[in-house]
């Protein structure tokens, strides 16, 4: 036997017992159970403690609306809090624990909060933790943090895998209940590409939980047969265990498929351990039908939150689908005909019905006839209940007490309209069902069928599902379906709105998950928080994991009553995605850890790895930072050696990461004149020029060199960081600003491997690589020359005589596929010239020694004037940024200038970020004169150097100022010098 | 969102980069008397309509076309998509 509350019937497999545990207790359920049905079958009614008052709570529902039965699943890194027991498919070895209690579930020490409830009403935090101010950080916040929240995280990385996918269809049917199944059937039969998604693991919706007949057979059998038929259709894709959580723009739906949540967790490293646990699908649809059904709502009365008090439809579902009796003596409290079905179905299963209490006077007698022995209380209300850890008695308004261990409550059904308002549409009130139905502004091409649209009977679900499918087929040009509408009766579904038992004297719960009672709504009203948005935020009504699926309408009704308005006058909040919570891991998919984004490797990467290089991330690139040699301790030793060797003999470095843009066309020169501050149309063929780009607001944007390779052919380089952005900007200029210029752009960053070869021996080194017919002597190939030539016996290459280091230097480019060969060739040839590879650190040191601006200087706040590049800015032509660069504020006399800085005490360290102050000035914003943007240790000069911006710096050479660095706690006297620390006349690079 | 690219057909918005107001096309004349004011307005003043908006999208993960998209900012309904180059020419831009 799998539990003393198991009764015959249901869609569970009695031959397949499944062992699982709850709070360490070993229990047994059946194949086809949810965790909730298995717990109920075992008589486990108490499953958790409430959020605020730590009240004992049991299972309320049988679906995704569950506010109470939130449990933690699994152990270790897979620990998963806030899982709804009502939608957790049971599997062998499932380990669940209850949450939100201090001590055991049965004796929760924080249950004292329930006694303090008069103080813990809405707005409690706002009013209580106000004073004294000093208490906030030390006392209140830790206190609140330790008692707030539901469940715990493991604190470890999620060991599972998640994936993303894209699907396309003619019709997405959301929900596989009677409306959804009949829609999918009609559309699929006509050949439309249909996706039918349902969050349950068995399709059929309420048909599996009811005893209705369809086409003369039991409803669940019809559903199973229909699902089997759909599975045979080639154009239909069935997606059980799949939640459509959001309706996005242009017919795109966000969908979560749970692939492995119903299976025991995989052992790490097992062959399947990379199988995705969940898949986040983007489904592109032409049409969609929302057939999401409806959710029953409770009625508010005193102590309506005890374990054993459940929704009537859920009690019926547990009996009919899962073969579980929720009690041995069940009472029903309803305001509508549907509640009576619970009494009728349970009675058919020989479960004792303690009473049916209907708020209506029922002048025409009961809507469904029950056994004459069942006591019927028409026009009566439940005003209170008894029972500490589960209901034992209910108290009626007349004072009569009824003994029962389960109370099935039905306050009517709310259509599940959430997806229909994801584009901002406001639901509208429907008096016939006393609930909200979808209003205007649906997502386009989404139609609604069945209970989701307020048609609560089975017959109408079939009619609407079939009709909506027919409309879809017609609009997409498919032949109409010949399938008749499945036959089912329209069962009685009358309702009289009834929300709240006014005779209740104690607290009546409206939102179970957030512990919001009728008293909180009254307080909110009294304190002026009367709009629905204020009500929600003041009381927390409708927040948290269930988003008020069972609470919102009751909360609105209570506020409407207090303010003397109707419910539609009171309003409703609209719904946003997601319909149910989606794990962040599913949104991340495979983009996590080292796969967070693609990593770009330079052509010399493998070789650099072989050399033992240390790598650094620069944007999405991995670049060699330095190349340690045996015996070197710490990065400084390696970097100093790389700099010294490069300056004394030769060094080489992979500079492929710089952006390279190939520019062709008869107007290429004109185009460059308009995007650079300088003039490029006059650049001779075979020459390179340094270029500065501004933003349209006049601030410096990017810099680099551009080479003219032919009459109408240029090659631009950009900084590594801005390669993508500059290309985008150039395309904008080309297509949007000057659409008739004859100019074409191609990004060739990845097409060419490029290596800097620098140092006094660099020319001799290159002579061993470049084919001998090419003359690269200083006379034939001077500073700023460029040429297309061949290397290694005929391999196409490009050579540029440009220098970032300040040495005699070249950049040699070969097609990227030869990059690995070329670095090896340079390294090998370099042995004879004492050449060393250098990384980004040495590159940085040498450019600071030379006073070259880089990302730290082109920081989005500096102008050409600040950078000392005014001479490069033409005043005779239009270019981007030209007009606004002339603004007076950008050209103040006291503007900061890029200067060099050396410590007066040569042993003192310098660091970027320090601010400059006059020697005797206080460190205040008013006294701030500028900042150090880059600093390094110069192995050539033997002390630290820095470059940075300081007011009127060019007039202050030789002055001593303070470099005040509060972050590092330093205050250093520095001397203002030229930013060109080394070879200011440029003899080396021209040599 | 799906943008109906005039050359490539319907493409997911994730392939595009969004720049904003298509008024960025109307770059003022640098030699005009009021060039400074005109550039100020061009660069800093934007409409922020609740409704129809003409905006620039760049098909960066695609063919690198700049597009002018007319989109309703309330419903995200896209009423028209054309190559920015064509739009720019109609606005009098050439060389």
> Can you tell me the distance from the alpha carbon of A235 to that of A168, in angstroms, rounded to the nearest whole number?
11
Residue B2 at interface with chain A, using a CB cutoff of 8 Å: yes
Lowest mean pLDDT among A12-26, A496-510, A806-820, A862-876: A496-510
**Looking at domain A614-656+751-779+788-826, does it have CATH number 3.30.1360.120?**
yes
Residue A350 at interface with chain B, using a CB cutoff of 8 Å: no
Tell me what pLDDT residue A991 has.
83
Residue A168 at interface with chain B, using a CB cutoff of 8 Å: no
Residue A115 has pLDDT above 90, yes or no: no
Residue A608 has pLDDT above 80, yes or no: yes
- Does B62 fall in a domain? yes
Residues 412-431, chain A, touching B (beta carbon < 8 A): 423-424
- Residue A127 — very low, low, confident or very high, per pLDDT cuts 50/70/90? low
Within 8 A of B74 by CB-CB distance, chain A residues are: 424
Tell me what pLDDT residue B6 has.
97
Distance from the A248 Cα atom to the nearest Cα atom in chain B, whole angstroms: 8
> Can you tell me the distance from the alpha carbon of A395 to that of A210, in angstroms, rounded to the nearest whole number?
29
Residue A284 has pLDDT above 80, yes or no: yes
What's the pLDDT tens digit per position in A905-941? 999 999 999 999 999 999 999 999 999 999 999 999 9
The CATH code of the domain that includes B18 is 3.30.2270.10
A interface test, pick of B9, B21, B64 with most A CB neighbours within 10 Å:
B64
Please report, for chain A, how many H helices and E strands are present, in that order.
23, 50
What's the pLDDT tens digit per position in A139-149? 777 766 666 66
Q: Structure tokens of A438? A: 């979808």
- Does B63 fall in a domain? yes
A151: left (phi over 0), alpha (psi -120 to 50) or beta: left
Tell me what pLDDT residue A148 has.
61
Q: How is chain A split into domains, by residue range?
A: 1-155, 162-294+415-476, 298-411, 506-581, 614-656+751-779+788-826, 657-749+857-889, 892-991
Query: Which residues of chain B, if any, have pLDDT below 70?
Result: none
Within 8 A of A732 by CB-CB distance, chain B residues are: 19, 24, 56, 58, 66
State the CATH class of domain A1-155: alpha beta
Residue B89 at interface with chain A, using a CB cutoff of 8 Å: yes
What's the CATH superfamily of A892-991? Aminomethyltransferase beta-barrel domains (2.40.30.110)
Tell me what pLDDT residue A124 has.
67
What's the CATH superfamily of A657-749+857-889? Aminomethyltransferase beta-barrel domains (3.30.70.1400)
B interface test, pick of A252, A663, A735, A741 with most B CB neighbours within 10 Å:
A735
Average pLDDT of chain A to the nearest whole number: 93
Residue B50 at interface with chain A, using a CB cutoff of 8 Å: no
- Does B78 fall in a domain? yes
- Does B67 fall in a domain? yes
Residue B23 at interface with chain A, using a CB cutoff of 8 Å: no
Question: Does A298-411 match A162-294+415-476 at the fold level?
Answer: yes
- Does B81 fall in a domain? yes
- Does B60 fall in a domain? yes
Residue A130 has pLDDT above 70, yes or no: no
Residue B81 at interface with chain A, using a CB cutoff of 8 Å: no
State which residue of chain A sits closest to B83, comparing Cα positions.
A735
Within 8 A of B64 by CB-CB distance, chain A residues are: 731
ipTM of this predicted complex? 0.99
- Indicate yes or no: CB of B93 within 8 angstroms of CB of A284: no
- Does B70 fall in a domain? yes
Fold of A162-294+415-476: FAD/NAD(P)-binding domain (3.50.50)
- Indicate yes or no: CB of B17 within 8 angstroms of CB of A697: no
> Rounded mean pLDDT of A814-823?
98
Distance from the B30 Cα atom to the nearest Cα atom in chain A, whole angstroms: 6
Lowest mean pLDDT among A40-44, A46-50, A232-236, B77-81: A46-50
- Cβ pair B77, B60 in contact under 8 A: no
Closest CA to A413 of A205, A200, A184: A205
- Indicate yes or no: CB of A250 within 8 angstroms of CB of B2: yes
Q: In what order do the strands lie in the sheet with B66-72?
A: B17-21, B52-58, B66-72, B78-83
Within 8 A of B5 by CB-CB distance, chain A residues are: none
- Residue A100 — very low, low, confident or very high, per pLDDT cuts 50/70/90? confident
Residue A1 has pLDDT above 50, yes or no: no
What's the pLDDT tens digit per position in A526-544? 999 988 889 998 998 988 8
> Can you tell me the distance from the alpha carbon of A779 to that of A246, in angstroms, rounded to the nearest whole number?
69
Q: What angle do CA A180, A185, A190 make, to 5 degrees?
A: 130
Nearest to A740 among B19, B65, B94 (CB): B94
- Cβ pair A7, A325 in contact under 8 A: yes
What's the pLDDT tens digit per position in A354-367? 999 999 999 999 99
> Rounded mean pLDDT of A190-214?
97
The residues that bridge with A814 in the sheet, in sequence order, are A753
Closest CA to A895 of A868, A857, A924, A858: A868
Fold of A506-581: Arc Repressor Mutant, subunit A (1.10.10)
**pLDDT over 90, % of chain A:** 84
- Does B39 fall in a domain? no
- Indicate yes or no: CB of B2 within 8 angstroms of CB of A249: yes
Nearest to B66 among A423, A732, A884 (CB): A732
The model's pTM is: 0.91
Within 8 A of B2 by CB-CB distance, chain A residues are: 249-252, 284
Cβ-based burial of B78 (10 A; exposed 0-12, middle 13-18, buried ≥19)? middle
Q: How many CB atoms lie within 10 A of CB A240?
A: 17
- Indicate yes or no: CB of B85 within 8 angstroms of CB of A736: yes
- Indicate yes or no: CB of A735 within 8 angstroms of CB of B36: no
**DSSP track, A217-237:** EEHHHHHHHHHHHHHH-TTEE
Within 8 A of B40 by CB-CB distance, chain A residues are: 884
Residue A774 has pLDDT above 90, yes or no: yes
Which residue intervals of A106-149 are DSSP H helices? 112-115, 124-128, 135, 141-147
Distances (CA, A) of B20 to A121, A350, A881, B68: 47, 68, 19, 10
Containing structural domain, residue B19: 2-26+45-90
- Indicate yes or no: CB of A728 within 8 angstroms of CB of B93: no
State the CATH class of domain A298-411: alpha beta
Specify the higher pLDDT residue, A572 or A534: A534
Tell me what pLDDT residue A146 has.
63
Q: Report the domain count for chain B.
A: 1
> Can you tell me the distance from the alpha carbon of A410 to that of A340, in angstroms, rounded to the nearest whole number?
9
């Amino acid at each position: 036997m799998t539990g003393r509350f198991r009764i015959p019937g249901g869609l569970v497999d009695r031959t397949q017992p499944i062992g699982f545990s709850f709070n360490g207790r070993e229990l047994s359920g059946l194949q086809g159970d949810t965790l909730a049905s298995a717990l109920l079958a075992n008589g486990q009614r108490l499953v958790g403690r409430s959020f605020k008052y730590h009240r004992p709570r049991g299972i309320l529902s049988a679906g995704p609306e569950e506010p109470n039965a939130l449990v933690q699943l699994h152990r270790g890194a897979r620990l998963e809090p806030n899982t709804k027991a009502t939608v957790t498919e049971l599997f062998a070895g499932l380990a669940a624990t209850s949450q939100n209690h201090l001590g055991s579930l049965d004796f929760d020490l924080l249950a004292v909060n329930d006694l303090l409830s008069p103080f813990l009403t809405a707005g409690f935090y706002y009013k209580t933790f106000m004073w004294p101010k000093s208490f906030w950080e030390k006392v209140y916040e830790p206190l609140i943090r330790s008692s707030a929240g539901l469940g715990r995280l493991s604190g470890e990385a999620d060991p599972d895998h998640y994936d993303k996918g894209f699907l396309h269809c003619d019709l997405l049917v959301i929900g596989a209940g009677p409306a959804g199944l009949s829609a999918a059937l009609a559309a699929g039969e006509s050949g439309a590409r249909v996706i039918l998604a349902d969050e349950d693991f068995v399709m059929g919706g309420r048909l599996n939980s009811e005893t209705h007949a369809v086409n003369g057979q039991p409803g669940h059998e019809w559903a199973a047969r229909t699902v089997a038929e759909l599975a045979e259709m080639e154009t239909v894709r069935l997606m059980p265990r799949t939640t459509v959580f959001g309706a996005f723009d242009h017919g795109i739906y966000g969908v979560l498929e749970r692939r492995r949540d119903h299976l025991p967790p995989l052992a790490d490293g097992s062959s399947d351990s990379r199988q995705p646990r969940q898949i986040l699908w983007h489904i592109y649809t032409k049409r969609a039908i929302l057939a999401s059904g409806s959710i029953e709502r409770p009625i508010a009365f005193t102590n309506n939150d005890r374990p054993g008090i459940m929704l009537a439809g859920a009690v019926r579902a547990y009996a009919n689908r899962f073969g579980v009796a929720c009690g041995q003596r069940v009472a029903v409290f309803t305001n509508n005909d549907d509640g009576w079905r619970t009494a009728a179905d349970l009675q058919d299963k020989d479960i004792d019905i303690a009473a049916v209490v209907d708020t209506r006077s029922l002048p025409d007698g009961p809507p469904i006839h029950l056994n004459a022995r069942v006591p019927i209380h028409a026009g009566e209300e439940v005003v209170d209940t008894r029972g500490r850890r589960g209901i034992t008695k209910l108290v009626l308004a007349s004072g009569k007490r009824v003994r029962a261990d389960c109370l099935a409550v039905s306050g009517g059904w709310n259509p599940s309209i959430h997806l229909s308002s994801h584009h901002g549409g406001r639901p509208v009130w429907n008096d016939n069902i006393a609930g909200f139905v979808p209003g205007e502004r649906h997502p386009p091409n989404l139609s609604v069928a069945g209970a989701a649209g307020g048609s609560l009977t089975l017959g109408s679900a079939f009619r609407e599902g079939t009709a909506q499918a027919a409309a879809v087929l017609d609009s997409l040009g498919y032949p109409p379906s010949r399938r008749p509408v499945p036959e089912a009766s329209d069962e009685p579904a009358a309702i009289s709105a009834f929300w709240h038992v006014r005779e209740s004297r104690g607290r009546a719960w409206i939102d179970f998950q957030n512990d919001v009672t009728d008293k909180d709504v009254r307080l909110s009203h009294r304190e002026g928080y009367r709009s629905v948005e204020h009500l929600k935020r003041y009381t927390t009504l409708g927040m948290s994991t269930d988003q008020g699926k069972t609470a919102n309408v009751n909360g609105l009704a209570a506020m409407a009553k207090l303010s003397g308005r109707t419910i539609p006058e009171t309003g409703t909040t609209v719904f946003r995605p997601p319909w149910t919570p989606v794990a962040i891991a599913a949104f991340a998919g495979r983009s996590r850890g080292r796969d967070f984004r693609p990593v770009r490797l330079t052509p010399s990467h493998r070789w650099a790895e072989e050399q033992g290089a240390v790598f650094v991330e620069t944007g999405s690139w991995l670049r060699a930072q330095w190349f340690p040699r045996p015996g070197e301790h710490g990065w400084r030793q390696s970097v100093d050696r790389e700099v010294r060797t490069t300056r004394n003999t030769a060094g080489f470095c992979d500079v492929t990461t710089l952006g390279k843009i190939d520019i062709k066309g008869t107007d290429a020169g004109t185009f460059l004149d308009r995007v650079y501050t300088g003039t490029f149309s006059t650049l001779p063929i075979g020459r390179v020029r340094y270029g500065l780009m501004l933003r349209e607001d006049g601030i410096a944007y990017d810099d680099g060199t551009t080479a003219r390779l032919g009459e109408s052919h240029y090659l631009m380089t950009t900084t590594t960081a801005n390669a993508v952005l500059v290309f985008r900007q150039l395309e904008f200029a080309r297509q949007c600003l000057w659409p008739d210029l004859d100019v074409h752009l191609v990004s060739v960053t990845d097409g060419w491997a490029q290596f800097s070869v620098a140092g006094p021996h660099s020319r001799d080194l290159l002579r061993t690589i470049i084919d001998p017919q090419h003359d690269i002597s200083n006379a034939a190939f001077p500073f700023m020359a460029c040429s297309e030539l061949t290397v290694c016996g005929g391999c196409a290459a490009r050579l540029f005589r440009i220098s970032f280091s300040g040495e005699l230097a070249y950049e040699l480019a070969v097609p990227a596929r030869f990059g690995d060969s070329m670095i090896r060739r340079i390294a090998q040839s370099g042995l004879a010239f004492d050449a060393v590879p250098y990384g980004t650190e040495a590159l940085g040191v040498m450019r600071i020694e030379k006073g070259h601006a880089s990302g730290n200087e082109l920081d989005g706040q500096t102008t050409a004037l600040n950078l000392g590049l005014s001479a490069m800015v033409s005043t005779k032509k239009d270019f981007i940024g030209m007009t606004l660069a002339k603004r007076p504020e950008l050209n103040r006399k006291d503007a900061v200038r890029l200067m060099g800085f050396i410590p007066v005490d040569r042993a003192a360290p310098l660091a970027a970020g320090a601010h400059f102050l006059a020697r005797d000035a206080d460190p205040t914003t008013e006294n701030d004169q500028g900042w150090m943007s880059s600093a390094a240790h110069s192995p050539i000069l033997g002390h630290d150097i820095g470059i940075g911006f300081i007011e009127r710096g060019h007039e202050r050479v030789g002055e001593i100022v303070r470099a005040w660095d509060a972050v590092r706690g330093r205050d250093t006297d520095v001397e203002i010098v030229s930013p060109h620390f080394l070879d200011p006349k440029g003899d080396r690079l021209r040599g | 969102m799906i943008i109906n690219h005039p050359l490539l057909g319907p493409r997911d918005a994730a392939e595009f980069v969004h720049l904003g107001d298509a008024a960025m096309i109307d770059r003022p004349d640098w030699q005009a008397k009021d060039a400074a004011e005109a550039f100020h307005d061009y660069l800093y003043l934007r409409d922020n309509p609740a409704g129809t908006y003409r905006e620039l999208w760049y098909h960066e993960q695609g063919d690198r076309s700049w597009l002018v998209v007319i989109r309703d900012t309330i419903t995200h309904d896209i009423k028209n998509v054309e190559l920015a180059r064509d739009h720019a020419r109609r606005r009098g831009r050439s060389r």
